[in-house]
């Protein structure tokens, strides 16, 4: 059985490590400079839209596709749905659950990054923006002091915010120190979910800071979705 595993997440790497008895090709977009490679065969770069992915699935005689991309990688997921339907290959989406507010959290949900930018001035004046480098410009005109944390530098480099280049996982002590040092009074994040970047939410709770969370795109309709690499491996067994 040949499986295409669309990756770029810790869950995709964990799943690649689990699937030792199947022929798996992991696929990475290749955006980050320092790629975290999963075990096994890896291909890097876009497929060239739905048509390119459809051709790739046919040429490589793929039997199943697992989309383990980041919950916000909506275009890749859309393309995977369309291409697997075109060639009649089963598709599974592996998506870690979103974050859930607990006691003491002051969370404000925004449908989009634009909504988050509009809401921001009512919640604070010194912003910690942790949405990655895509979509940063949406926050360029808030007029608020902003610290933006990204893995790789955005191009062109923004002049309106202070950039912090760093890569998780982060711990609570480090996040508390960062929030205090920069006198942050509001945090903005996407609802990525997962433990790797969760420490900022714990730190915000401890400091009683408001947090704006941007909703993740809806999961595709009519496609099975699981939350863990183990459940994705079990789905493959059923094929």
**Minimum distance of ligand NAP from residue 213's CB (angstroms):** 13
Whether the Cβ atoms of residue 4 and residue 60 lie closer than 8 Å to each other? yes
Tokens of 204: 């915000």
Whether 112 contacts 135, CB under 8 Å: no
Count of residues that interact with ligand NAP, criterion CB under 6 A = 23
* Cβ closest to ligand NAP, residue 97 vs residue 143: 97
Pick the stretch among 65-73, 96-104, 120-128, 142-150 that binds ligand NAP (CB under 6 A): 65-73
Exposed (0-12), middle (13-18) or buried (19+): which is 167, by Cβ within 10 Å?
middle
Applying CB under 6 A, among 9, 84, 142, 197 the residue interacting with ligand NAP is 9
Question: Is 182 one of the binding residues for ligand NAP (CB under 6 A)?
Answer: no
**Least CB distance to ligand NAP at residue 149 (A):** 13
From 21-29, 170-178, 213-221, 223-231, span contacting ligand NAP (CB under 6 A): 21-29
10-18 vs 229-238: helix axis angle to the nearest 10? 50
Alpha-helical segments (H) within the chain: 10-18, 49-59, 74-87, 113-119, 172-181, 199-206, 229-238
Question: Could you say which residues in the range 23-62 bind ligand NAP, by CB under 6 A?
Answer: 27-29, 31, 46-49, 52-53
Tell which one of 8, 10, 158, 229 touches ligand NAP (CB under 6 A).
8
Which residue from 8, 28, 115 is spatially nearest to 72, judged by alpha carbons? Answer: 8
Place of tokens 């006691």: 103
Nearer to ligand NAP, 73 or 161 (CB): 73
Q: Which is nearer to ligand NAP, 134 or 145 (CB)?
A: 134
User: By C-beta, is 115 or 191 nearer to ligand NAP?
Assistant: 191
Angle at 110 between CA 108 and CA 112, to 5 degrees: 160
* Nearer residue to ligand NAP within complex by CB, 27 or 138: 27
Question: Residue 161 gets which letter from DSSP?
Answer: S
Question: Footprint of ligand NAP on this chain (CB under 6 A)?
Answer: 6-9, 27-29, 31, 46-49, 52-53, 69-70, 72-76, 79, 132
């Amino acid at each position: 059985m040949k499986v295409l595993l669309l990756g770029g997440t810790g869950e995709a790497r964990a799943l690649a490590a689990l699937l030792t008895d199947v022929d798996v090709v992991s696929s990475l977009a290749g955006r980050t400079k320092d790629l975290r490679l999963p075990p096994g065969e890896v291909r890097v770069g876009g497929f060239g839209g739905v048509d390119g992915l459809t051709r790739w699935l046919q040429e490589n005689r793929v039997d199943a596709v697992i989309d383990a991309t980041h919950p916000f990688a909506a275009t890749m997921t859309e393309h995977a749905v369309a291409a697997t339907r075109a060639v009649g290959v089963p598709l599974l989406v592996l998506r870690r659950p979103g974050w859930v507010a607990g006691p003491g959290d002051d969370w404000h949900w925004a449908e989009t990054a634009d909504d988050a930018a509009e809401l921001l001035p009512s919640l604070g004046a010194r912003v910690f923006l942790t949405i990655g480098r895509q979509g940063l410009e949406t926050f360029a005109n808030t007029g608020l002091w902003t610290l933006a944390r990204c893995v790789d530098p955005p191009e062109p480099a923004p002049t309106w915010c202070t950039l912090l280049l760093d890569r998780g996982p982060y711990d609570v002590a480090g996040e508390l120190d960062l929030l205090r040092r920069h006198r942050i009074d509001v945090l903005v994040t996407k609802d990525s979910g997962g433990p790797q970047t969760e420490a900022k939410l714990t730190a915000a709770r401890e400091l009683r800071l408001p947090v704006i969370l941007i909703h993740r795109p809806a999961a595709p309709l009519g496609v099975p979705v699981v939350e863990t690499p183990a459940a994705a491996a079990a789905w493959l067994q059923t094929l």
